[in-house]
Amino acid sequence: MKFEVLYEIGAHAILDGYYREAISSFAASLERFYEFSIKVILKKSCNDQVIEQAWKKIASQYERQMGAFVFLWVNQFQDLPTVLSDKMVQLRNSVIHKGVIPTREESVRYGDEVLRIINALKKELKDQYSTELENVVFQHLLRSHQRVNSNSSPSTMCISTIVSLTNGEVDHDQKTLEEHLKSLSQQREKYKSIL
């Protein structure tokens, strides 16, 4: 899913020293996770066409997306969702809108908070909406196949990412971003030695 890839891009940006790009990617990952969550929750009671039409009304406006997510979550779970702290929202806005170049530490803190949020909300979705979650993922794969080539036989491959929907490791979602960065760095070194 797009939020998984965007988060991974953010982590690699930190390893490469691109801290502004890391925050931008983490922010985009969280926004796409909110979109994913909205579609999963609505899947239980709405048809796909209505969901897509509704999404088009807010697709280019983050504040509306956030509002839709928060109220939908409250309606379904009777509790507020975990969202970014005001401090992290200010950091994101400074980086995205004012051109501030963050430090590595700021990027890691931001990414770590996004990671905790996605993992906590993802767990709730998996627990309460597993069928709908699987359906949304399947539809995404089907649309991706249709965009590429409708004459080929589809196949998929699952690569575990930091915010993976499919990782089977028991402690995967408990790791900090720094722990994931260490693993990514080790993987890079391993692949360099092979090539």
Helices 19-43, 62-77: axis angle to 10 degrees equals: 50
User: Number of folded domains in the chain?
Assistant: 1
47-88 confidence digits (pLDDT tens) = 889 999 999 999 999 899 999 999 999 999 999 999 999 999
Give the least confident one: 10-19, 85-94, 154-163, 170-179. 154-163
Radius of gyration of the chain measured on its C-alpha atoms? 17
Instruction: Please give the pLDDT value at position 39.
Output: 94
Instruction: Please give the pLDDT value at position 99.
Output: 95
Contact 149/157 with Cβ under 8 angstroms?
A: no
Q: Which among 121, 136, 140, 137 has a CA at the least distance from the CA of 70?
A: 121
Instruction: Give mean pLDDT, residues 144-149.
Output: 70
CA distance 118 to 83: 9
The Cα-based distances of 3 to 12, 18, 26, 150, 170 in angstroms read 14, 19, 9, 25, 21
- pLDDT bin (cut points 50, 70, 90) of residue 150 is low
DSSP string, 143-177: HHHHHH-TTSPP-------TT-SS---TTGGG--H
Find the domain containing 140 and state its range. Answer: 2-149+156-194
Question: Tokens 């790009």 identify what position?
Answer: 21
89-146 confidence digits (pLDDT tens) = 999 999 999 999 999 999 999 999 999 999 999 999 999 998 898 888 888 777 776 7
Instruction: Please give the pLDDT value at position 163.
Output: 93
**pLDDT of 155 over the 80 cut:** no
**pLDDT of 149 over the 70 cut:** no
- pLDDT bin (cut points 50, 70, 90) of residue 154 is low
Instruction: Please give the pLDDT value at position 20.
Output: 98
Of residues 63 and 159, more confidence is placed in: 63
Of residues 42 and 150, more confidence is placed in: 42
- Which amino acid is it at 188? R
Which value, to the nearest 10 degrees, does the dihedral of the CA atoms of residues 106, 71, 127, 120 take? Answer: 10
The Cα-based distances of 113 to 40, 53, 59, 87 in angstroms read 22, 31, 24, 11
Which value, to the nearest 10 degrees, does the dihedral of the CA atoms of residues 46, 48, 51, 54 take? Answer: -120
Question: Tokens 């998984």 identify what position?
Answer: 4
Of residues 30 and 149, more confidence is placed in: 30
